[in-house]
């Protein structure tokens, strides 16, 4: 009887903890992703590749002239963007949407040159990883067409 009580109590505890983890609303999750994207972009402005690295998933895929697969390859490709005193571009999220499951999100917004002119649009897919942090799994930009 005692073992059944312990098993039942453990089951209730697991359900409670799992329920608490899912208690965040879609709006709250979108704000978490917006904050992560903003900090990710700030890493470029601050010229901090090590901070940038923390936001990239181990299995990330970044699209550009070439498709770059994996965190190490992304960092190798992007380290040139962190050279020099001024960032070659900046970005900021305008739109963030999170799946109802709360595990994937899409963030998108303008990419701007150093003078502030929009030169593209970024689209990043973020995943809530097992350690509780949002990380980019897909990143793809596209040229800006001037709203046409």
pTM of the model: 0.81
Q: Which residue do the tokens 């917006």 mark?
A: 34
Structure tokens at 86: 């001024």
Whether residue 10 is predicted with pLDDT greater than 60 in this model: the reply is no
* Tokens (6 digits) for 85: 């005193």
- CA–CA separation, 6 vs 3, rounded Å? 5
Please report where in the chains the tokens 């895929």 appear, as a residue.
Answer: 61
Q: Does residue 18 sit within a domain? A: no
CATH of the domain at 72: 3.10.450.50
Between 78 and 144, residue with greater pLDDT = 78
Q: What's phi and psi for 66, nearest 5 deg?
A: -125, 160
Q: Is residue 61 part of a domain?
A: yes
The predicted structure's pLDDT at residue 148: 47
Structure tokens at 90: 């900046």
Q: Give the model confidence (pLDDT) of 85-128 as tens digits.
A: 999 999 999 999 999 999 999 999 999 999 999 999 999 999 99
Within-domain flag for 1: no
For 18-43, what is the mean pLDDT?
85
Range of the domain at 104: 25-143
The number of folded domains in the chain is 1
Beta bridge partners of 136: 56, 126
């Amino acid at each position: 009887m005692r073992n059944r009580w312990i098993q039942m109590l453990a089951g209730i505890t697991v359900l409670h903890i799992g329920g608490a983890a899912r208690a965040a609303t879609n709006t709250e999750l979108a704000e978490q992703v917006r904050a992560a994207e903003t900090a990710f972009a700030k890493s470029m402005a601050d010229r901090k590749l090590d901070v940038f690295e923390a936001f990239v998933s181990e299995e990330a895929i970044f699209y550009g002239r070439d498709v770059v697969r994996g965190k190490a390859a992304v960092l190798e490709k992007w380290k040139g963007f962190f050279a020099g005193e001024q960032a070659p571009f900046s970005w900021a999220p305008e739109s963030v949407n999170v799946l109802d499951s709360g595990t994937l999100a899409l963030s998108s917004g303008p990419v701007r040159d150093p003078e502030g002119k929009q030169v593209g649009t970024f689209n990043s897919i973020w995943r809530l990883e097992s350690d509780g942090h949002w990380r980019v799994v897909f990143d793809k930009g596209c040229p800006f067409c001037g709203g046409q």
